[in-house]
Amino acid sequence: MHKRILYTAIALAFVLWYIMFVLRPFNFWAMMAFSTSLLSLVVLWIGKPFADRGEWSWSNLWLGVTSALLLYAIFWAGNQGLILMERVVPGLFADRPQNLAAIYGNRGELAPHWVALLLFFPVGFGEEFFWRGLVQKHFAGTLGRWRGFLIATFLYTAVHFATGNYVLLLAALTCGLFWGALYAWRGHLFPVLLSHMLWDPLIFVLFPIQ
């Protein structure tokens, strides 16, 4: 029963992301908040993501904060690398500015402080709650820790395929690998949740990389 609900929820995530990023019938942030909240409810329905008492510790809090800063540094360095490659091979990533503009263009649909708040919760929280707290946890339990990590990372990246935005796909792959590996390594959801919740407003609102 739970497995059927899980697979249905994964399919639903693909549909929701297609509606948000491609069809865009409503305000992007309203759709994102609704979608991640809905997926969070699925986790609460069939899972027990915080059953381990070891989740709530100062070390996990510190890990969540520092990993968010580390991931931001990785993205900054990656962007500088792409810029350098464009200078060496002109035209190699000619559409990178347009792809970045498409990602950051959603910020204009809402006041910055509201965007930051929604990215912190429910968006950042809901994405990790679902993809790591339910999807990766399930596949790790059935196929092994690292196979579960790879499957969850693939699915997390794949929901963005429909956008056709290679910068967004590369960002999703990087984030999926980073947070998935962190969850596989520590086995705790709290630091991964906190990392995503802090990283989202940091890179999209406070210090955008463009």
Q: Rounded to an integer, what distance in angstroms lies between the CA atom of residue 70 and that of residue 183? A: 15
The answer to whether 29 touches 109, Cβ cutoff 8 Å, is: yes
- Write out the residue range of the structural domain in which residue 201 sits: 2-206
Residues 6+ apart with CB under 8 A from 42: 5, 9, 130, 134
Alpha carbon distance, N-terminus to C-terminus of the chain: 45
Q: State whether residue 117 is helix, strand or coil.
A: helix
* pLDDT on residue 31: 97
Tens digits of residue pLDDT in 141-181:
999 999 999 999 999 999 999 999 999 999 999 999 999 99
Q: If pLDDT is split at 50, 70 and 90, which confidence band does 197 have?
A: very high
What is the number of domains present in the chain?
1
pTM score, whole prediction? 0.95
